[in-house]
Chains A and B, each alone.
Chain A
Amino acid sequence: MPKITVPLGPQHPALKEPGNFMLLLEGEEIVDATLRLGYNHRGIEKAAEARNFVQATYLIERVCGICSHSHATCYVTNVENIAGLEIPQRAKAIRVVIGELERIHSHLLWLGVAAHEIGFDTLFMYSWRDREYVMDALEALSGNRVHYSMNTIGGVRRDISKEAHEDILKKLDILEERTNYYIHLATQEPTLHARTKGVGALPKEEAIRRDACGPLLRASGVARDVRKDDPYLIYDQLDFKVITSDACDVFGRLYVRVFEILESIKILRQVLSNLPEGPFAVKTPFKIPAGESVTRYEAPRGEDIHYVKADGGPNPARVKVRAPTLANFESVSYMLTGDQLADAPLIIAAIDPCFSCTDRATIVASGKQSVQSLKDLRTYGIEFYKKKGIDFTKVK
Chain B
Amino acid sequence: MEMIKELLIQLFEILIYPGLLFLFVAALLADWIDRKLYARMQNRQGPPWYQPLADFVKLISKETIIPKHAVGKHLFRVLPYLAISAVVVCIFFIPISGSLALMSFQGDLIAAAYLLSIPTMCFFLIGWTSSSPYSAVGAMRVLTQFFAYEVPMILVLIGPAIVAGSWRIEDIAYYYSANPSMMFVNILGFIVALITMQGKLERVPFDIPHAETEIVGGVFTEYSGKLYGFIKLAISIEMIVVAALFNAVFMGGSLGLEGFLGFLLFCFKVLIIILISAIIRSAMARVRIEQMINFCWRVLVPIAMLQLIISIIARAFHG
Contacts and interface: CB of A to CB of B under 8 A. Distances in A.
Is A in direct contact with B (CB under 8 Å) within the complex? yes
Interface of A: 4-7, 12-14, 25, 27-28, 115-123, 125-126, 129, 189, 191-192, 194-195, 340-345
B213 A119 contact: yes
A203 to B, nearest CB: 22
A119 B214 CA distance: 10
B282 A122 contact: yes
A126 B42 contact: yes
B211 A119 contact: yes
Contact of A121 (B136, B215, B282, B289): B282
Interface stretch (B7-15, B200-208, B237-245): B200-208
Contact of A119 (B134, B204, B290): B204
Given A121-B42, A342-B208, A195 B285 contact: yes
B316 interface: no
B287 A341 contact: no
B41 A122 contact: yes
B61 interface: no
Given A342-B208, A342-B214, A195 B137 contact: no
Interface string B281-319: 011111111110000000000000000000000000000
Interface residues of B, number: 29
Interface string B196-224: 00000000110110011111100000000
Top-5 shortest CB links A-B: A119-B286, A120-B285, A14-B213, A125-B42, A191-B285
A118 to B, nearest CB: 5
Given A6-B137, A25-B137, A121-B282, A194 B213 contact: no
B47 interface: no
Nearest to B282: A122
Given A191-B205, A342-B214, A129 B43 contact: yes
B79 to A, nearest CB: 22
A191 B295 CA distance: 11
A119 B213 CA distance: 8
Nearest to A190: B284
B-side interface mostly: helix
Interface in B225-276: none
Contact of B214 (A5, A125, A344): A344
A-side interface mostly: helix
B107 interface: no
Contacts of B74: none
Nearest to B42: A125
Contacts of A121: 42, 204, 282
Interface of B: 41-44, 133-134, 136-137, 140, 204-205, 207-208, 211-216, 282-291
B284 A341 contact: no
Contacts of B41: 122
Contacts of B44: 125
Contacts of B289: 28, 340, 342
A83 to B, nearest CB: 47
A192 B285 contact: yes
B148 to A, nearest CB: 14
A125 B43 contact: yes
A172 to B, nearest CB: 21
B288 A7 contact: no
A66 to B, nearest CB: 19
A118 B286 CA distance: 5
Contact of A118 (B137, B140, B215, B285): B285
7 contacts: A6-B137, A129-B43, A189-B284, A191-B285, A195-B285, A342-B214, A343-B288
A271 to B, nearest CB: 31
Contact of B288 (A4, A25, A342): A342
A195 B213 contact: no
Given A129-B43, A191-B285, 11 more contacts: A5-B133, A6-B137, A13-B213, A13-B216, A27-B140, A120-B204, A120-B284, A191-B286, A195-B285, A195-B286, A341-B215
Given A6-B134, A341-B215, A191 B43 contact: no
Query: Which of B42, B137, B214, B285 has the most CB atoms of chain A within a 10 A radius of its CB?
Result: B285
B133 A342 contact: no
